[in-house]
Amino acid sequence: MIIFKSQREIEQMHEAGKLLASCHKEIAKIIKPGINTLEIDKFVEEYLAKRHATPEQKGYQGYPYATCASVNDEICHGFPNNKPLKSGDIVTVDLVVNLHGALADSAWTHPVGTISDEANHLIKIAEQSMYKGIEQAQAGNRLGDIGYAIQTFVEAENLSVVRDFTGHGIGRNMHEDPAVLNYGKPGKGLKLKEGMVITIEPMVNVGLYQCKIDKNGWTARTIDGKLSAQYEHTIAITSNGPLILTDQELV
Ligand code: MF3
Ligand code: CO
């Protein structure tokens, strides 16, 4: 069931999104060789607590941390840990902010120190693919238009799109209908309407798109050990087109 949002609810989610966007900008500043992802996780919890917000992921279906921190071949749901990041790594930090009951969800892949040309190409294309999807998030378009735009853009660059994880509706719950696939056919799937709020969050791999899950039951990593990156924004479908609620340019 799709839960449509009023303008006021979208405004409240936008406030959560602005806080999340500013938190991502701070994370970008502290990521350096030597820092570990548990320190980033602690930073996020404190940053949100000071601003009367909470990390919605913590405790969600038993997930133990405020953030997901997925390094190199980890696709998503990486557990923060005390291993120092090193120059050449890439790390995706994913977090969901709850501000007075309104949620916003955004993930960002950061380079650590100096990264390879391969890693640089991957993160640039993954980020651009998200914006290709966002361009299609227009009332009257269909979910397949989003997936098709992402998939064709990524595959033209000889990279692959993960199938096992998707974007989603979001509101007072982190995961609402519909599932927003990062692949698909134009003109197919659910029609987008004003008042829907969804995430667009392609996971892009250098090699094969398949993944395997670690023994912790959460962390997905590439089956071939090659790099993976992810960018995610929360988007409201409005009469003026897609509104990026987690835009870092505005904060
Ligand atoms: N932020 C993630 C998403 O985009 C959710 C991660 S699952 C959690 O859907 F359990 F870690 F919260
Ligand atoms: Co999400």
Structure tokens given for 126: 């993954």
Question: Which of 23, 57, 79 has the most ligand 1 atoms within 8 A of CB, as the residue to mutate?
Answer: 57
Please give the sequence-ordered ranges of beta strands (E in DSSP) within the chain, or none if there are none: 53-55, 68-71, 74-76, 90-99, 102-111, 160-161, 167-169, 176-180, 197-200, 203-205, 211-213, 220-222, 228-230, 233-238, 241-244
Range of the domain at 57: 7-250
145, part of any domain: yes
Is residue 212 a part of any domain in this protein?
yes
Q: Is 21 left (phi over 0), alpha (psi -120 to 50) or beta?
A: alpha
> Is the residue at 159 inside a domain?
yes
Q: Report pLDDT digits (tens) over 185-242.
A: 999 999 999 999 999 999 999 999 999 999 999 999 999 999 999 999 999 999 999 9
In a domain, 182, yes or no: yes
Domain assignment present for 2: no
What is the predicted pLDDT for the residue at 235? 98
pLDDT tens column, 139-150: 999 999 999 999
> In the structure, what pLDDT confidence band is assigned to residue 75 with cuts at 50, 70 and 90?
very high
CA–centroid distance, residue 105 to ligand 2 (Å): 5
Q: Is 4 in the pocket of ligand 1 (CB under 6 A)?
A: no
Amino acid code (one letter) for 39: E
Residue 146 inside a domain? The answer is yes
Q: How far apart, in Å, are the Cα atoms of 139 and each of 60, 75, 117? A: 31, 30, 37
Q: Is residue 172 part of a domain?
A: yes
Q: How far apart, in whole angstroms, are the C-alpha atoms of residue 115 and residue 33?
A: 11
User: Does 93 fall in a domain?
Assistant: yes
Ligand 2 centre to CA of 104 (Å) is 8
What integer is the mean pLDDT of 64-90?
98
The mean pLDDT of 118-140, rounded to a whole number, is: 98
- The atom number, within ligand 1, closest to the CA of 175 reads 9
Structurally, how many domains does the chain consist of? 1
CATH code (residue 98)? 3.90.230.10
Interval between CA 218 and ligand 2 midpoint (Å): 15
